[in-house]
Structures are given as structure tokens and as C-alpha cells.
Amino acid sequence: MNPSISFFYFLSFLTILSALMVVISKNPIHSVLYLILTFFSISGHYILLNAQFIAAVNIIVYAGAIMVLFLFVIMFLNLKQDQADSKANLTKIAATIVGGTVFVILFGAYRKTTLPAVDTANYNSQVGMIENLGHLLFKEYLLPFELISILLLIAMIGAVMLGKREIGERHF
Amino acid sequence: MKEVTIAEAPQGHSGSGFFATSFDEAIGLARSYSLWPLPFATSCCGIEFMATMGAHYDISRFGSERPSFSPRQADLLMVMGTIAKKMAPVVKQVYLQMAEPRWVLAVGACASSGGIFDSYSVLQGIDRIIPVDVYVPGCPPRPEQIIDGLMQIQHLAQNEKLRRRNTDEYQELLASYNIQ
Amino acid sequence: MQLTNRSKQVSNKEMTLMERAYLPAIATGLGITIKHFFSKKVTIQYPEVKRYLGPVFRGRHILKRDADGRERCTACGLCAVACPAEAISMVAAEREKGEENLYREEKYAAVYEVNMLRCIFCGLCEEACPKQAVYLRHDEFVPVFTDRDQVIWGKDLLVEDMNNRYTREAWTKEEALALDIKRANGEPTNVTPRAVP
Amino acid sequence: MELTVFIIKSITILVVFALTLVIAMYSTWGERKVAGFIQDREGPNRAGWGGLLQPLADAGKMFFKEDFIPAMASKWLFIAGPSLAMLTALLASAVIPFGSTVRFNGVEVPLQGVESNIGILYVFGVVALGVYGIMVGGWASNNKFSLLGAIRAASQNISYEIAMGLSLIAVLMMSSSLSLGEIVSQQHGGNWNIFYQPLGFIIFLTCSFAECNRVPFDLPECETELVGGYHTEYGSMKLGFYLFAEYINMFISSAIISTLYFGGYNYPGMDWVYTQLTSALGTGMGHNIATLIGTAVFFGKAIFFIFFYMWVRWTIPRFRYDQLMNLGWKKLIPLAVINIILTAAGILFLRPLIDQILN
Amino acid sequence: MADIELLPHQVPANAELPELVEELTTLNLGPTHPATHGIFQNILKMDGEKIVSGEQTIGYIHRAFEKIAERRPYYQITTLTDRMNYCSSPINNLGWHMTMEKFLEVQVPKRAQYIRVIMMELARISDHIICNSILGVDTGAFTGFLYVMQKREEIYEIYEEVCGARLTTNMGRLGGMERDLSHTAVQKIKDFIKTFPPVLRELEKLLNRNRIFMDRTIKVGAISTERALSYGFTGPNLRATGLDYDVRVMNPYSSYEDFEFDIPVGQHGDTYDRYMVRNEEMWQSLKIVEQAINNLPEGPYYADAPEYYLPPKDEVYNSMEALIYHFKIVMGEIDAPAGEIYHAVEGGNGELGFYMISDGGRAPYRLHFRRPSFIYYQAYPEMCKGSSLSDAILTMSSLNVIAGELDA
Amino acid sequence: MLSNQEVAEELLGKFGSQVFDFEEPYGLLTLSTTREEILTVLEFIKEHNHFQISFLTDLTGVQYPDKTGQEFMVVYHLHSFVHNFRIRIKVSIPEADIHIPTVTGLWESANWMERETYDFYGILFDGHPNLKRILNIEEMDYFPMRKEYPLEDATREDKIDALFGR
């Protein structure tokens, strides 16, 4: 096995393990930290795919910003006291059923798909590099890119409007 | 990084070896030049402490200018000013929160002995509740005297064996103040 | 409301455009601090360099002897009464025959103790003493203590050593004032520190 | 050949690492000295000559201080906090180009830990993670002051990262590369970015103050409000790690500022020096010495910015939490956007115009 | 966050909302918090970073001044007043002496009065230096503090020249001063007048018009004149609200009527106003010192009142009469009439009053100190309500609450 | 300017025999009233259109253990900034019934001053919003400023009264 393959297996193991720990951990803070670890190992996968830009952005955006906000909210809500709460058995059963169903669907879908074979000879290893990505985004797909940014802008404004507190409401 | 434990010397071999002694000395020196004080300033002596921190006397020459208001980070509790009976539990609490090794400097007449306030509300010296290493007389002491006190503490720190804080005598001393 | 005609409005809260922009004020501040960075330092290297504490500084106590080496204290107790900290205590004794070279008066203090941790160095004892016996030295402090047992100073520490007498330029307020006037007028003073007359 | 490169690379990385640590260590001494000098006093001068052993004394004391974990604290996270802070602080120095290249047996090895085409993004990623150390530690302490400090740190770092990134985009637009080595070499010959990006530089500088939690943005640990902020409950070497991480961060951001805006290892007249050296000492030796001079210049710039951080710290008051947020979101971000637009206009219209005139 | 109190959220009665609970954090500010420069505790109910309500606990250095004063002869009470507002102890000492002089109807010579004015104004400067520079420290600007502290050190040198101690000066005697101003002291005071303005200007440049500082202090901890009066504010804190009440002008004592000075007032009684008023008061004090030192009258420095003022040492040794007076004064057996008196001086923080009842004994029958800090500090919760923690700390340090004066 | 005469006459005219013991020690108008009238007297001079004696300078207690039936006294010092006029009002209360109405409704500043007086003397101010000890520890079971209690800390050991001194 060459080093990158073994590294791939190691990363996959780490990803799945930490993803499981996210679900299993009782303490929400621990969950968040495991989630961050998951993002890291996913970034590792990106690097293996020679997509360094995506890897960096994944860390900056998800691990660096969004998860900080998660942690922030959890710290503020102070869920530490509630960790002993026992979920009702019904909830557990329902969760198992839903989860199981999703798993079955995914598995079925996976079985139906045939993965395209990679043409190793003609494969451009630089496709994930940032220059190529830039060309794609700002030349070929300029319109969809701009539309998406407008969409995000609208979403952001909407979130601000929703989150804006009225006078007299509680504030952080 | 628990309290460093050095293996017990073999029986029949008294006194610490050369290495242990010079190591003790090195750490003692390090500690003495990095005494971060917790200024527990309640009254007049606190104002003199400001002068000690100030440009003229400059306590930072001794490496002690970083006042740690959190007891966890402090090495030296400087009790400056009157400690009333209402305040006494707080002083003791702060002392308990400090991590070993810790030293206590009672600055001024009030902290050392109550001074002129021989009244119903004032604690007659903080050594009734916590062990004090050095007393600085004066009401308030001049900055020079506070520096003298600090240097005395430095002297104590330099000559202290690493193991002192684990000895029975030290535990007894603490026990006599109902600590631990 | 205005009560007098002397009031003066001092606070102006309107900011100019320059002040709004943060940076000019910060630059001014940085200018001031960098000027100090290169200026002369005022620090006194204390244990090596000692500051002159002024002619009337109230340092540690001393019990004076007279020129013949006799103790001046007559154990009248005025200093103990004047002490707001109740730090002075004494036991009086009658002078025996043959002790005239030791004590100047018929009565003397057999025990004279000052609790140095209680003392607040207010100088009232010095003022109260009618026999010029107790003084607060202007050139020495009480040293720091490491033990509670050291803090009560008896006569062994307080009484002046004849080989190393405590001297001052002026002993009374009047003397000090006269000396000061002379100095101010530029007259030659030639005062050497001396023991109590 | 591979082996020589590997050895040189390892030595470079080790040296870079050691230098970072030593500089951070002596920054603590420098901070106390600078504070002293600015405040008309001496600063530490008893431990060793001029107090030079002061960092060692601090370290020795901290190592042998009783290690303490508060009873109510979450034990593992309490330990993880300072470790994370230290880790993320040290990671960033890997991509900074400290000098041009050294020639060794005809092999050119850049003085840079890792040359990466996304260097600046890597730095950003690492910096973005820096806040975890503070947040985790502050939360794990189970102390209200620590928690407030942690929360302030989190929101402050996230907010200022945005402005920081936006101000950088202008630089990246000019250099059209994300590689730090590339950005530096483009600034060769007095072509420093500071001359083209003064506004961006000021925004970047401000944000770097905020990212390092330095005055005027030291709210997470401001002494008079939150005692020690997130590290209130920390003692011994864990506190040492936090303080150390702060100084490493300071060094890293100084290094990045000099890389991005002040030409890195470039200095005026370096070509002349280079030709003189190579003609005097030969291409190999002369080149290496010229590189070393460049590295020294780089460190000089970085140390100046460390000094600048300290200078500012001992001069101005700090912001209040909401004012800090207002400054970040309502002033710096719009300014950064304006800066981007101006730069874009400059690149699109001004540069061809100048080129036309020159030709 | 160990202890959290859940309070029902105040929901409008007609609103159909699910029951909300509001989490209030209790933050214990003090007694050993670095910003509570003296020692007092503020228990703040916080909603995030906003303060909902606060309650203070004081008395952490209660030393029973009033009880001790009932046991001490009149001349020993200075050792208590020294330690009351220790930032400006000469004002307290001399205020007490003036009370006694008024009570015993002793006429103090003009020279002594001028020396007292000089000392009191220097004390006011040192008091305000501490308050204003500590406000700077609390906003994070530490350096200005150390610049002006160097000048405070010079004030202490002047004290030392005059009375022999730095902080707890035990200054003045019943009937005058304990000694005349020496030539060195005069020289030092003149030097101080020359060298202080540049340093104070530096502090002003560092803070006054710095936007960060202005933003931090403007509209922080504001109080209106009416509320301030109701809360018993006096001194710079009252003047910051715009009312020019100053004991030195309203009821001049110790020849204050001879001097030209203005009463600085602010606009809204916020932290910036308090800062600016104190700042300007330093300039005014400097002006007074300058006038006093330049017009220092010649003459004796103590009153001709042998039954109250200790005779010169030489006379004690030689004259029987002087010796008797000496013993009587030291033993505290002075002939004080029965009666009561209230006398106020303008202390560093406001009207410092001495209410004394005598029954003719050697010590006061009852001595009550009107301590300005004690009275105005109760307004603190109202002043910091609704502001953030940072504001509350600035409000506290701009109020200049001196623990010794607060708890007595 | 207000004169003592003017104020005294106005008060006598309004309250008659409820205000008594007029004195002028060191020029400060001093008068006594009863605890039933104290609130109305204070309110009257505070709200008086001309006097405007609206600033409560000081409030404190005094104990006279020998005056049976009037063991305690509460002293109010008031000040009119407009006229620069000070007035002192005293109220005597017996130890057996140690109550007096609070003036916290008129001045906020009275709050702590009354608490202090309670702490020192045990005088109960009826209607006070938060009458508890302020300077001393809550556990204290006596009122330390009363003359019968000693000043000294009873636990002090290093003091030898047998020696010279006090």
C-alpha cells in the first residue's frame, strides 16, 4: 500500500470515528469538538484529492467560524446542567427508525450507482488548484456564481431581519 | 505537572546530593525573580503600593510587576491595609485558592497587627488566620520598606528546599491555621 | 442651577472630524509615549541607591543618651499616653546609688518597649517627650520582620549606641527653621550633624 | 540530492521553530522592558544582566508551581485549552518565507517551512482555529469571568476575521497569488504593498490587534473587568502556555504584516548588496550571505512590529465590547469593501493607463 | 455558571406567548476584584453583558473610627482622619483642626492659614491625580497613570518636608501648623507648580480628546442634578452634573476667600464630566497654590493659644509654665467646653463634615464624620443600571470611592 | 440670605410647641422636635417655597445613657444651597421604644445613613426599605457604638494593661 492510500484509510477511520462520537457524546461541547475533528479529517481528504483551496476554506469557514458560533451558542445556553436529561424511550425508538431508514435508502442508492472510472492517464491533477477553480467560477459559471451570492445575501438579510430583536425583548 | 516529587534519598544517606542542591538553588532563584504579587490592597498601604509600582521605586526590577489579580496565578499575597473581621474570610479564601508555593507579605501595621485600630471590628493581624512569612512595619510603610519586604521574600524563596512544601512541619503549620 | 458666579463649563463632548477618526489622537498618544521611551528614567535603584528622606522624616525610634552617655528617659509615660496605637509600654524604676553615670534623672525606665508592628510612626511620642529622650530617626526605617517574636523592641535595640551616635542637623523646630533661613539667605552655615545638645 | 534537501528543510524548519519560540520568549522580556521604558522606569534588571534571564525565571517558576485543576472544571478540556492555544499559535509559522533561498551544493532551498500555493489561506485557517484554545479553556474553567472572556474572544475573533480577510483581498488582487513566497518576491525592488494599500494596511493592522487580543482589543482578558478573562483559573505552566501563545501570535502577525505589506526580506538596495557580495564571495557563499542579510532584515521588520504592538498597548485605552463590534462591523468591513473596489478600479483602469503612459 | 436564577419573563398580559424564562447571571464583583480599588462588593444581576440590578455590600474595612474617636484625646484624632480619605489626608487632618479651632474659638494666624491652603490644595491634586489616572487604567491606558504618579511622588516629598511622612501625614496642630514651611519646602512647591502642568497636559493629551476614551466615558453612569442631590452628592461628582456647589466658595474657611479660582462644572453628570471636572479642578488647585505661595504672609505659623498648642521644646525644659501646659496638652486635659459643632470642608470627594458633641471631657462625646463617599456610593446601582459591565467599572472608578472613607 | 430668626419664627408659627429647644451654637440654628412631627417638619422645610432647605447633609445618632426616657437622639443636618443656610434638627427617643419614622421617602441619601445609625445604635427606622446592618457583619449581636460596649477587640492578647499607659 502506498502512503497516500494508508493515509486515506486512516483519515476515513478518523472521520467516521469522530462523526460517531459527535452523536454519542453526552456533553454537547464534546460533540462540537468532535465535529471540528471531523471537519479536519474531511479537509485531509480534500488535500489528498489535491484540492487545497477547498481544504483551507473548509477549515476557515466550518471549523473556524461556524463551529465557533455553535460552541458560542452552546456555552451561552449552558447545557452542562441538562446533560443528565433522559430522552423518552419513544424518542429513542423513533430516532432509531428514522436513522435506520435513511441508512437503508442511502445504502440502496449507493448500490445502484456505478462510480465513473478515473482515467489516470489524462487526469489533470491540477484541477482542484485555486487558479483553475477561479477560472471555472469567474469565467464559465459566472452567472450561477453571482446568483448564488445574491441568494446568500438575501438569506443573510432575512436572517438579520428574523434575528433582530424588538424593543423590550431580551438581549444577549 | 503535579508538584515535583523527587525520589526519596536512600536510607543512611543524609543530605541532598550536589545535583539536588544546585537544582534547588536554580529553581529558588527562578522563583525569587518571578514573584507575581496578588495585591490585596484594602486601604492606605495600597496607595503606597501604587507608589512602589510607580516609576520611582519600580517593583518590576525584581520581576514582580505583573500583578495577578487571580489567586491561581499569584505567588505572593501582599495584604495591604486593614483587614476587618468581615474581610477575614475573604483573605483566607484567597489564600486557599493560591497554588503552592505561596508566600504572604503583611504590609503595614494594620495587616500585621491591627495598628491603631484596636477596635471590635478589626482583625488584630492577619497571622491569626493565615501564616505570614514577612511583616513590614510602618503605617503605611514607605515604598522602600515594601521593597525590603519583597527582597526578604525573595531571600526566603531562594533558600527554600523544593520539598519544603511537602514536609510534615509545613503541613503542621497549615493545620494550625485549620487549612486542609 | 447656578449658585455662584464662578462656575466654568469644562466638558465639551462634541467631537471634531479629526477626533472622530481615532487615528490622530492615537498618533499623538504614541508620540508622547515614544518621547518618554527615550527620556531619562527616574527610577531609584533602591537597595543600592537610597533616597534622602528629608530632615524631619519619621523613621525608627531611638532612646537618646546625653553627652555623658546617660539615658535621658525619666519614665514619665507621656509618650505612652500620647501614642494613639498604644504601642509603647514601660516600667519605671528608681535610680539606685552609684547609677548616676547610667541615668540622668532619679527615675528611669527599667523596661521600655515599643511594639514596632503596632506603631504608626505618627511622631506624637517625640513631640510629647519633655526630656528629649525619644526620637524618630530620620535616616533609618524599622527593618522587616519574619517572625512575630521580633517585633517588640526593648531597650537593647532602642537605646542609642554611644559609639555610633544618632546625629541630626537640627533637633528642634526652631533650630531647623533658623538653619533653613540661613541657608535660604546664602549665609555660611557649616552645620555638621550632631548629637542632641 | 533528495537527502540534502530534506536535511536542509528539516534544519530550516527546526531553526524557524526555535527562532519563533525564542522570539516569543524574549517578547515577554521585551514587553516588560518596553513598558518600563515607556513609563519612565527601568523594567526588570535584576535577573541576569538587564533582566535577560527574566523569561527563564518565569518559566522555571511556572514549571514548578503547583498544578491545579478547579474542582468544578471539566478536566480534559481544561488541559486541552492551553494546548490548543499553543498548537495553533505555532502552526502558522510554517508557511512564512523568512528569506529567499540558500544554495547548497547547487541546490536552491527556500527559507520557508512549507511552500504552498494557498499559503495565506493556510495562515487564515490556523488563525481562525486560534480562538478554540481560548473558548475551550474559558468554558472549562467553570468561572463566570472566564466564560465572559471566552465569549468575548469568540465573537471578537470571528468579527475581525472578516474585515481582515476583506482587507487582504485587495492585496491578493494585486499580486494575483495566494502564495506568500510569491507575494514577497513580487515586492522586490521597493515595490512594497504598503505604498499601494495604505488603507488596507491600516485595516489589517487593526484586525491583527484584535486577533492577538492586544490593547485596545484585549477585552477577553482585560484585567480591570474580568480579572484575567479566560485564563483566570489557570496557574502554573498552563497559564504560561496561554501567555506564550499570545506572544507567538504577536510574532506571527508581525511576520505576516511585514511579509504582506513591507516586502518581507526585501530591503532597499538589496540588488546592489547582492552583486557586491556575489562578486566578492562567489555565487554560492555570496548568495547565502545575501539571503541571511535579507532574513535579518525580515526579523528586524517583524521585531519592529512586535515593538509597535507593545508601544500601542502602553499608550491607548481599550474599547468597550459593543464599540468594538461597531468598529468591526460598521466601520472596518465597509472600509475594506471600499478598499477592494478602489483597488479593483485601480487595477482595471489606472494600471493600463500608467502602462500606456510609460510605454 | 454555577448559580443561575430563573425569573419569569415579564410578558405583557394580553400576549399569547409561550412562557418565557429569563436567565439572569449573578456576577460577584468584589470584594477582591481588581476594579474595586478599595474593598467593597457589588452583586450584579446580569443579563448577558447588561446589568439589570445591583446591590452593594460595604463594610469590609470598617474600622470603628467613631467609636475610637470617643476614647482618644482631641489631638490624637488626626491619626484617624489621616486614614479616612487616605488619598488626601491633609484635608481631613486640617479640616478636623479647623473644626476644633472653631469650637475652641482659636484665631489662626494668616500664615498658617495660607500654609494650610497650600497643603489642602496639593492634597486635592494628589487625590484627583489618583482618581483620574485610575480611570485611565480602568479603560486600559496604564501609562498615563505612571506619568502623573511621578508628580504625586513630588507632592509626597513636599509633605515629607513639611511633616515627615508621605501618606498618613498627621499634619497640622490645633492652632496652626506643627512647623513652618521650610525654604526647601517652598522651593519644592514652586518647582512643583512649574513642572506639574506639562505632565498633566500629557495625561490630557493621552485621554481627553481620544475618541476611544470619550466613547468609553460619555453617557456612562450619568445622573441628573436632582437625583444627585437626592442621593447626597457633593464635590466633583455633584459639580459634574452642572451644579456649582463648593464649600470653599459657599462657606469659605482658612482664607479661601482670598483666592481667585473657578468652580468647574460639567453637563450631564456622566463619567466624562466627572473626569473633566476633576481635571480642571487640578488646574484650579494649582492656581490657588500658586497664589498662596506667592502671597505667603509673614508672621507666626501657630496661634497664640498656649493652652492648646504645644510650647517650644526649649521652653519646656526651662520654664515651669510651659512644662505644665505641655503635660496638660499631652495628657489631653485641655479645657474644652460642652457643646456641639458641625464644620465642613471641601474634601477630595465633596463636603467632608465633622459633627462633634463635647461634654467637656478629654475626648469627644460623639464624633460623627460626614463622609462624602459613604453617602454618594449608594447611588451606584442606579447609575450603572442598564449599562454593561465595562461601564459599571468605569462609573465606579470615576466616582472615586475611597474605601477608608466609605467604611470609616 | 436667610436668618436664623426668620426660619425659627416660621417654624414656630407652623408647628407651635412641637418644635422647641431653639439654640444657635456657632451660628447654626438648632432645634428639637418629636418623632411624631419629624417627618412633617422635614417635609415642610424641604418643600418650603422660600427656604428650599432641600439637601440632607447628614443624619446620625447619639446616645445619652443617663437621660432617662431620651436615651437616644437622631440628628439631622440640612442645608439650603440657594440661601447657604444650615439647620440642625434633633429628635430624642427613649430606649424602651426605639423607633422613628424613616426619611428615605424624602431623600435617597437617607437610606444608608439610617442603616448606619441602626448598625451603630440599633435605632429602628420605621418604613425603611432595607433596614439591616451595613458596616458590621450580619452575625453581630450588639450595637457597638452604644456606650456600654467596649471599644477593644476582646481577643487581643499582646496588650498588658498592667504596664504604663492607658
- Convert the pLDDT of each residue in E338-390 to its tens digit: 899 999 998 888 889 999 999 888 888 999 999 888 888 888 888 888 888 88
Helix residue ranges per DSSP H, E20-142: 65-69, 78-82, 89-104, 110-139
CATH number reported for the structural domain that contains residue B53 in this entry: 3.40.50.12280
User: D352: pLDDT confidence band, cut at 50, 70 and 90?
Assistant: confident
Angle, alpha carbons B49-D33-D17 (nearest 5°): 130
- Determine, yes or no, domain membership for B8: no
Classify A62 as helix, strand or coil: helix
Q: Which domain holds residue B54?
A: 31-159
Per-residue model confidence (pLDDT) at position B8: 52
User: F162: pLDDT confidence band, cut at 50, 70 and 90?
Assistant: very low
Residue D193 near residue D301, CB atoms below 8 Å: no
- Taken in order of first residue, the domains within chain E and their CATH numbers are 4-57 (no CATH), 65-407 (1.10.645.10)
| Residues in a beta bridge with D204 | none
Q: Number of Cβ pairs closer than 8 Å across D and E?
A: 75
Angle, alpha carbons C52-C57-C59 (nearest 5°): 100
Report CB contact under 8 Å: E143, D225: no
Query: Of D299, D207, D205, D212, which is closest to residue D248 (Cα–Cα)?
Result: D212
CATH number reported for the structural domain that contains residue A86 in this entry: 1.20.120.1200
| Number of separate domains in chain D | 1
Taking the Cβ of residue B96 and every Cβ of chain D, the question of whether any pair is shorter than 8 Å is answered with: no
CATH number reported for the structural domain that contains residue C82 in this entry: 3.30.70.3270
- Determine, yes or no, domain membership for C186: yes
Report CB contact under 8 Å: C42, B55: yes
User: F47: pLDDT confidence band, cut at 50, 70 and 90?
Assistant: confident
State yes or no: pLDDT of E20 exceeds 60: no
Angle, alpha carbons D144-E392-A160 (nearest 5°): 70
Per-residue model confidence (pLDDT) at position B14: 46
Taking the Cβ of residue A164 and every Cβ of chain E, the question of whether any pair is shorter than 8 Å is answered with: no
Q: Which domain holds residue A94?
A: 3-125
The mean pLDDT of chain F is 85
Comparing CB atoms, the residue among C3, C77, C89 nearest residue F160 is: C89
Report CB contact under 8 Å: B134, C146: yes
User: F154: pLDDT confidence band, cut at 50, 70 and 90?
Assistant: low
Residues C101 and C73 in one domain: yes
Chain E contact partners (≥3 CB pairs within 8 A): A, B, C, D, F
Residues C150 and C176 in one domain: no
Per-residue model confidence (pLDDT) at position B1: 41
Lowest-pLDDT range of B175-179, D252-256, E183-187: B175-179
Lowest-pLDDT range of C70-74, D93-97, E325-329, F72-76: D93-97
Residues 68..127 of D with a Cβ closer than 8 Å to A: which? Answer: 74, 77, 116-118, 121-122, 124-125, 127
Residues C155 and C186 in one domain: no
| Number of separate domains in chain C | 2
E82/F156: higher pLDDT: E82
Residues C79 and C122 in one domain: yes
Comparing CB atoms, the residue among E34, E59, E167 nearest residue B47 is: E167
Residue C8 near residue E262, CB atoms below 8 Å: yes
- Determine, yes or no, domain membership for B11: no
Q: Which domain holds residue D262?
A: 2-358
| Number of separate domains in chain A | 1
**Element housing B150 (H / E):** helix B143-158
Per-residue model confidence (pLDDT) at position F166: 42
Residues C177 and C128 in one domain: no
User: E194: pLDDT confidence band, cut at 50, 70 and 90?
Assistant: very high
- Taken in order of first residue, the domains within chain F and their CATH numbers are 4-126 (3.30.460.80)
Lowest-pLDDT range of B70-74, E150-154, E264-268: B70-74
Comparing CB atoms, the residue among F153, F158, F159 nearest residue B120 is: F153
Classify B77 as helix, strand or coil: strand
Comparing CB atoms, the residue among C30, C39, C43 nearest residue D311 is: C30
The mean per-residue pLDDT over the stretch D77-85 comes to 85
- Residues of B near C (Cβ–Cβ under 8 Å) read 55-58, 61, 109, 112-116, 118, 125, 127, 133-139, 141-145, 147-149, 151-152, 156
Cell numbers that stand for E166 in this block: 508621605
The mean per-residue pLDDT over the stretch F133-144 comes to 85
Q: Which domain holds residue C188?
A: 167-197
Residues C154 and C66 in one domain: yes
Per-residue model confidence (pLDDT) at position A105: 93
Report CB contact under 8 Å: E62, B44: no
Report CB contact under 8 Å: E229, F55: yes
Nearest-by-CA chain B residue for E39:
B42
Lowest-pLDDT range of A82-91, A138-147, D157-166, F100-109: A82-91
Nearest-by-CA chain E residue for B86:
E60
Taking the Cβ of residue C92 and every Cβ of chain F, the question of whether any pair is shorter than 8 Å is answered with: yes
- Determine, yes or no, domain membership for A171: no
B56/A27: higher pLDDT: B56
Chain B contact partners (≥3 CB pairs within 8 A): C, D, E, F
Per-residue model confidence (pLDDT) at position A104: 94
Taking the Cβ of residue A165 and every Cβ of chain E, the question of whether any pair is shorter than 8 Å is answered with: no
Angstrom distance (rounded) from CA E39 to CA F41: 38
Residues C105 and C150 in one domain: yes
D334/D138: higher pLDDT: D334
pLDDT single digits (tens) E82-120: 888 888 889 999 999 999 999 988 899 999 999 999 999
Nearest-by-CA chain D residue for B1:
D67
Best residue in C15, C20, C22, C49 to probe D by mutation, most D CBs within 10 Å?
C22
Q: Which residues in C lie closer than 8 A to residue E202 (C-beta atoms)?
A: 32
Residue F71 has phi, psi (to 5 degrees) of -65, -30
The mean pLDDT of chain C is 82
Angle, alpha carbons C55-E290-E373 (nearest 5°): 80
Per-residue model confidence (pLDDT) at position A150: 94
D158-173 burial, b at 16+ Cβ within 10 Å, e below that, comes to bbbbbbbbbbbbbbbe
The mean pLDDT of chain E is 84
Query: Of E43, E84, E46, E23, which is closest to residue E389 (Cα–Cα)?
Result: E46
Residues C129 and C189 in one domain: no
Comparing CB atoms, the residue among E32, E38, E150 nearest residue B94 is: E32
| Residues in a beta bridge with D97 | D112
Minimal C-alpha gap between B112 and chain C (Å): 6
Residue B136 has phi, psi (to 5 degrees) of -115, 115
How far is the CA of D39 from the CAs of B60, C106, E102, in angstroms? 12, 59, 45
Angle, alpha carbons F7-F8-F12 (nearest 5°): 120
- Determine, yes or no, domain membership for C195: yes
Task: Give the percent of chain A with pLDDT over 90.
Answer: 20
A121/E201: higher pLDDT: E201
Classify E142 as helix, strand or coil: coil
Residue D38 near residue E143, CB atoms below 8 Å: yes
The mean per-residue pLDDT over the stretch E167-186 comes to 85
Nearest-by-CA chain C residue for E210:
C25
Per-residue model confidence (pLDDT) at position E11: 32
Taking the Cβ of residue E1 and every Cβ of chain A, the question of whether any pair is shorter than 8 Å is answered with: yes
Nearest-by-CA chain A residue for E21:
A170
Lowest-pLDDT range of A163-172, D221-230, D295-304, E93-102: A163-172
pLDDT single digits (tens) B83-129: 888 888 888 888 888 888 888 999 888 888 888 888 888 888 888 88
Residue C7 near residue E265, CB atoms below 8 Å: yes
- Determine, yes or no, domain membership for A111: yes
State yes or no: pLDDT of A115 exceeds 80: no
State yes or no: pLDDT of E53 exceeds 60: yes
Residue C51 Cα to chain centre, angstroms: 13
- What's the longest Cα–Cα distance across chain F? 62
CA dihedral D120, D122, D126, D127 (to 10 degrees): 20
Examine chains E and B and say if they touch (3+ CB pairs below 8 A). yes
Per-residue model confidence (pLDDT) at position E21: 44
Q: Which residues in A lie closer than 8 A to residue E47 (C-beta atoms)?
A: 170-171
Residue D113 Cα to chain centre, angstroms: 15
pLDDT single digits (tens) A117-158: 777 777 777 777 777 888 888 888 899 999 999 999 999 999
Best residue in F54, F81, F164 to probe C by mutation, most C CBs within 10 Å?
F164
Residues C154 and C182 in one domain: no
Angstrom distance (rounded) from CA D52 to CA D45: 8
State yes or no: pLDDT of B15 exceeds 60: no
Per-residue model confidence (pLDDT) at position C152: 85
The mean pLDDT of chain D is 83
